[in-house]
A and B are shown apart, each in its own frame.
Chain A
Amino acid sequence: MTEKLEKTTQKVPQIGTSQIDLLERLCNATAVSGDEHEVRQIVLEEIKPIADDIKVDALGNVLATKLGRGEVRVRVMLAAHMDEIGFMIVKKHDDGLFEFDRVGGIDERQLPGKSVLVGREHLPGVIGAKPIHMTTADERKNKIEVSAMRIDLGPEIGDKVKPGDRATFATRFEILGPSIRAKALDNRFGVATLIELCKHAPDNIDLLAAFTVQEEVGLRGARVAAYTFDPHMAIAIDSTPAYDLPHWDDEDENDRYNTRLDAGPAIYVMDSATIADRRLVNWLLETAQDAGIPYQLRQPGGGGTDAGAIHKTRTGIPSISVSVPARYAHSAASIARRDDWVNTLRLLYTALSRVTPELLAGERRD
């Protein structure tokens, strides 16, 4: 390790009690795509005192700038989406029962028997299911359709809940040994990481922080944020599934795990929305190797991040994604390792600290 790298390593922002508390607040807040208010408020509260410039744009993105100090500075956009998957109440029925629709990709098999929180007041409700005693064996071979489910808010809910209100799973944040169990770790991990990077911005770059909206319904916030910032390069900070579970027959190897817990930040080469700029892939790999930070290459394949919209904005923006691996995304709770988050922050901070114009000099190359 070079002396310069060693100095950088010493300055890496730490994940302590206050960072964990912030992540907890972020996860327990409700921010279904299109209604990111609660997370936006937390972001503004955290970023306002330190940003050189901050604004909320037409879609609800928070765009914050933290200027560096050198003469030649690369403008680096970092994007973390604030929104989460959830529900919208679409119809009121009798007796405290409401019909709902899903917002974002949610497997309906994850819904029966769950607690939810509805609206800005977080009113508690439940998604019930028919008692097993009343089902037939044939019936249990079919999944329960969303159209047959209701959110039950109790018989005297009155007009406190209306069609249009958003809802999320009611799961509260919890530490399980080396792990974190919470809803919406996709992508409050990214939001919390970006807040820390803003608070400890390396001064060799202009840090352009985009806390984006509507990622889960089509990467919509990131597109306009990238247009506004017009950066030299961009990184989407997100959370990606770890499918590191055994195969059902215990014999076959699971070779499609996407990422694994405990293996460090996931660096993207390609997903279904972006082919990462190879210069940026190499820059992150070299940084991880030089600084001894655990990392993994996300298995190329499906999925997408805000980078999918950003890299095609204006005349094109060199982009890459880095994710914290988490199991069971888009369900009532994810489980992720705290160490993987710590190492994601380490990798990003260390890599950003070494950005110079040479990184992007010349043409995109392999």
Chain B
Amino acid sequence: MADATALLRSAVAGDRRGLARLLTAIESRDPALRPILPAVFAAARGAHLVGITGPRGAGKSTLVSAMTGEYRRRGRRVGIVAVDPSSPYTGGAIMGDRIRMMEHAADRDVFMRSMASRGELGGLAGTTWLAAAALDAAGYDPVLVETVGAGQSEIEIARLAETTVVVEVPEMGDEVQAIKAGLLEVADVIAVNKGDRPGADHAARQLRAMLAGAGGRFRAPPPILVTTAVSGDGVPALIDAVEGHREVATSPEQALARARNQVLRALAEQAADRAAADPRWEETVRAVAARQLDPITAAERLLEPG
């Protein structure tokens, strides 16, 4: 890798190739990057970090494209990180999110990066948000991070966003399905997409009624909007709602909650990295496999200085 400081400098100066290479270094968790990580965060200009998640086939990519179009009409430069799963067997991945982004392909004020999850061992959430910070530092605002809301790690990613948009479809099932899904709980804004399908308004009403009575995180129920990503219907209102949430997101209380998550996340990653590099790692794991040691005690020992 080229000199990390030079990469960051060129990315901040608006060089797209420099930014792309910085993102590669982030993605591969290049150790040479470590000394400049504080500088990446320091260079970030406070872009609105927006997570977009939802089940497969809900139209997330198309909605991200439509949202990008609306942000562009409002004069914003848009950064996008689209995360797709890696195969746990081969390590390979197919990332097709650019197919839906074609109308922005020639737009120099849109920068999109596809990222494969590369196994959750690597700390996907941390990597994703570091990539978002790099896009922020390069002058993109908002930065949209799109993930499939299928697993815990995706939900974790969403939780690191300032504003999380959960995309649902009219056929999401009855209310019980919606309550079951932990996904809705992370939503700051809910988009019921494919609004041209029958039942979209009904689904939105049902969600509204359900969340109005809910406690926990939903003291103030999130706005629920019906969107049709392919036609753009409802997208300006969705952006208004996302923008509207920003004030809440930047409140001291929310900033503190996010910071807590970030530090805990970094702590877990560093502890895991350190343990995996520990000379006692292999024998400790073997001892657990042989049932001579339990995993809790094993972790405790690995956390002790060697």
A binds B: no
